[in-house]
Amino acid sequence: MSRGDDLQSQALTKPAFSETQASALVESVFGLKVSKIQPLPSYDDQNFHVCISRTKDITDGPTEYVLKISNTESSKTPELIEVQSHIIMFLRAAGFPTASVCRTKGDNLTSLVSTDSGSEIASYLVRLLTYLPGRPIAEIPISPQLLYEIGRLAGKLDKTLEKFHHPKLSCLRRENFIWNLKNVPLLEKYLYALGQSRNREIVTQVIQLFKGEVLTKLGDFRECVNHGDLNDHNILVEAIKSAPEGATYHVSGILDFGDMSYGYYVFEVAITIMYMMIESKSPLHVGGHVLAGFESVIPLTPVERGALFLLVCGRFCQSLVIAAHSCQLHPENKEYLMITAKTGWKHLQQMFDMGQEAVEEIWFQTARSYDSGIAM
């Protein structure tokens, strides 16, 4: 869900390329002949699933790709997209199931294309990535073991990125980026989108608690680069075996690095917990399995653990408030924008009503069960 720092400025910047125009881009920029193309869901960029035809010059390699056209605001920060692309390649080389980034005919990772809308010239950064196999985990019944593996994956990803170096890496310090978890208080200017409601009251309370109990402890958290969006549509899985009790799955793809920024280890695990709760039939138990997996790679400190509850609540608030705001800007994209809201408000209210101590007891007890080898 690649999204920029200022929501309001992006109200009218989402690309609107037709399938014919997108096909022409693939051919002119990347030199590939398109045999089939169809749009993919997206937040404020534009994505297409592209199938290519073999030619006498191209007889091997992938035949399926994703064309990514960044919105005009994101296209003004090419160094950010460059770093994201290099991270995707770095992680793939390290063994993670990320896409390959295809080079243009001019041997670049991106190309800036301009279109004339009649009233102005708009410029968009274009990339082509290989298409990854699998189904979003939102579409399958997710087991405790898979939750553990996803938590472990999140920890390994952050740990591996400690070794990543790039001269423009500092561009990931996105201070006003609305999706960085430390920026929960920035939601205050979008609360109007909730009207006067119980939901708004909860978000307001979370923001106040967040200011007093999380922001004051940021100096005690360990910093790292976060993927920042390991949600149930950005992690792909494939079945590895079928058994009477059902298929066993493994992660086959990690998508969408558009929300990457400097954050903290505890941010990554909190974001992952929140998104894994969305489709779960027992959402309050999700956190313990994800936490156990993450801590098998990066054990949290007591201060980090103590902030986990409010961080998960904060991420629910970010997702739900920004979705409500974005729906007012883009009502035509409501179905995609409101995916989290279908269950998210219910989960947030349940967590908030139970309180930190009761939720933590479930999470931490479940996580401890892995120490004894008997996962709950």
Q: Which residues are the active-site residues?
A: 229
Structure token digits, residue 328: 């007012």
**Residue 84: how many other CB atoms lie within 10 Å:** 22
Please, are residues 296 and 252 in contact by the beta-carbon 8 Å criterion?
no
Nearby residues of 264 by Cβ (< 8 Å), 6 or more positions away: 218, 221, 222, 223, 224, 226, 304
Sign of CA dihedral 173, 276, 365, 245: negative
User: Which three-class secondary structure state does DSSP give residue 15?
Assistant: coil
Please, are residues 1 and 47 in contact by the beta-carbon 8 Å criterion?
no
Nearby residues of 182 by Cβ (< 8 Å), 6 or more positions away: 214, 215, 218, 263, 267
Dihedral in degrees, nearest 10, Cα atoms 193, 197, 198, 203: 30
Q: What are the DSSP calls for 167-182, one per residue?
A: TTGGGG--TT-TTSGG
Q: What is the CA radius of gyration of the chain?
A: 21
**Residue 11 CA, distance from chain mean position:** 20
Q: What is the largest CA-CA distance in the chain?
A: 66
* Strand 34-40 relative to strand 46-52, pairing: antiparallel
